[in-house]
Amino acid sequence: MQRTFLTGLLFAIAIFFHISVFATSDEGGDDKDLKTEIDEYIQHHLKDSHDFSLFSYTRDNGEHVYVGFPLPVILWDDGLKVFSSSKFHHGETLAEVDGNFYKLYHSKIYKTDAQGTITYDEDHHPTNVKPLDFSMTKSVVMIMITGLLMFLLFRGLAKSYAKNGGIPKGIGRFFEPIVLYIRDDIAIATIGEKRYKKYMSFLLTIFFFIWFLNMFGLTPLGVNVTGNIAITTALAILTFLITNLTGTKDYWKHLFDPLGDSMPWIAKIPLYIILVPIELLGIFIKPFSLLIRLYANMQAGHIVIMSLIGLMFLFKNWIGSSLSFGLAFAISLIEILVALLQAYIFTMLSALYFGFASEEHEHAEAH
């Protein structure tokens, strides 16, 4: 009961936090209608940024005040350019570095002139030079925090095992059953007892990495890391590389000879014209399904929650606003399960692909 109460309290705080941001952002001095403002805020929430902004408000004189902290901007433009993102002031000013001017436009940095001119092509896409951007965005910061948290957590768990004769203490008691479940019911069940160990480090890392990032996205910090397709693509590429670099000869033989010795080669040629391209295409479809599933589910969850919160400001009455708040709170609780479920699905499917790649057929027994 106590844990349920604390969980509900956490997400109530998160929802109130987002409500306060909606209520205080872009107040006054703006001719946009409320629906447009809500839509722009949701789009801003989903994007990565070069600063860690918690919330903002507008003073009586029209000045926008942002509460948060800047992050380092690292550019390569005829040399290394390093400066603080505070120079952009959330895209409202230009950053002058070594005589060059840079502008933050739609979360991307462009090189411009002293007036901040942005030129466009016929499709209204910016044509300004875009320097190579190696900046530490808020997603990068959360990835580093998650990595450090995992290192400290499992380092402590390993020490606990060593000190207590293989019996975990403290928070390790909560994580040990999860580790054992991933080992016994995912890795061994799909890869096999002979070869699962070489994949365990990746499977454990990817599960807790995705799970922790998903949970951070539901806190008042609201960092949508796994809703960034670049992040999910990088994770899927790792699964793709491990699958194909560790694949056995039987795995590759199955791709180019899926029918085996079941019929003569002359009879198989017409079938292979269709089967072999499908098998080879499946190599890329599998990781693509991984990245799209994780990206779409986490992106959709954030959009639904923020849209429900936005409805409170459209209804402007106790009945409609109360219903919107109740639905947003319920969806937030469901997202706890989704956060864990998406980590499980990504890990499970990765293990399944590893199992296909590491499978070896006993040809003698088959004959």
Residue-wise pLDDT for 118-151, tens only, equals 888 888 888 888 899 898 888 899 999 999 999 9
Residue 76 in domain: yes
pTM of the model: 0.82
164, 227: one domain: yes
Residue 268 in domain: yes
Question: Is residue 313 over pLDDT 80?
Answer: no
Total domain count for the chain?
2
Final residue in a domain of this structure, among 104, 135, 166: 135
Question: Is residue 175 over pLDDT 60?
Answer: yes
Q: Which of 221-225, 291-295, 312-316, 322-326 has the highest mean pLDDT?
A: 291-295
- In which domain, by residue range, is 123 found? 72-135
227, 78: one domain: no
Give the pLDDT of residue 264. Answer: 67
Q: Residue 78 has what DSSP assignment?
A: S
Final residue in a domain of this structure, among 135, 155, 179: 135
pLDDT bin (cut points 50, 70, 90) of residue 261 is low
Q: How much is the mean pLDDT over the chain? A: 81
Give the pLDDT of residue 150. Answer: 92
Residue 26 in domain: no
215, 340: one domain: yes
pLDDT bin (cut points 50, 70, 90) of residue 288 is very high
Give the pLDDT of residue 267. Answer: 62
Quick check: helix, strand or coil at residue 264?
coil
116, 194: one domain: no
Residue 4 in domain: no
Give the pLDDT of residue 290. Answer: 93
pLDDT bin (cut points 50, 70, 90) of residue 233 is very high
Q: How far apart are CA 240 and CA 234, in angstroms?
A: 10
Report the pLDDT averaged over residues 316-322. Answer: 76
For residue 214, with 0-12 CB atoms within 10 Å meaning exposed, 13-18 middle and 19 or more buried, which class applies? buried
Q: How far apart are CA 30 and CA 262, in angstroms?
A: 72
Give the pLDDT of residue 270. Answer: 73
171, 265: one domain: yes
pLDDT bin (cut points 50, 70, 90) of residue 308 is confident
Residue 13 in domain: no
Give the pLDDT of residue 367. Answer: 40
Q: Is 219 left (phi over 0), alpha (psi -120 to 50) or beta?
A: beta
Give the pLDDT of residue 47. Answer: 80
Residue 235 in domain: yes
pLDDT bin (cut points 50, 70, 90) of residue 69 is confident
205, 271: one domain: yes
| DSSP tally for the chain: helices H, then strands E | 11, 8
Q: Of 300, 345, 358, whose CA–CA distance to 206 is shortest?
A: 345
Residue 60 in domain: no
260, 338: one domain: yes
Residue 59 in domain: no
Q: How far apart are CA 75 and CA 55, in angstroms?
A: 26
Check residues 57 and 165 and name the one with the higher pLDDT.
165
The answer to whether 53 and 68 are in contact (CB under 8 A) is yes
267, 122: one domain: no
Final residue in a domain of this structure, among 84, 103, 135: 135
237, 96: one domain: no
Q: Which two tokens stand for residue 161?
A: 């095992």
316, 340: one domain: yes
Lowest mean pLDDT among 17-21, 244-248, 252-256: 17-21
228, 111: one domain: no
Q: Of 106, 16, 18, whose CA–CA distance to 302 is shortest?
A: 18
Q: How far apart are CA 351 and CA 213, in angstroms?
A: 20
Give the pLDDT of residue 186. Answer: 94
The answer to whether 107 and 53 are in contact (CB under 8 A) is no
124, 167: one domain: no
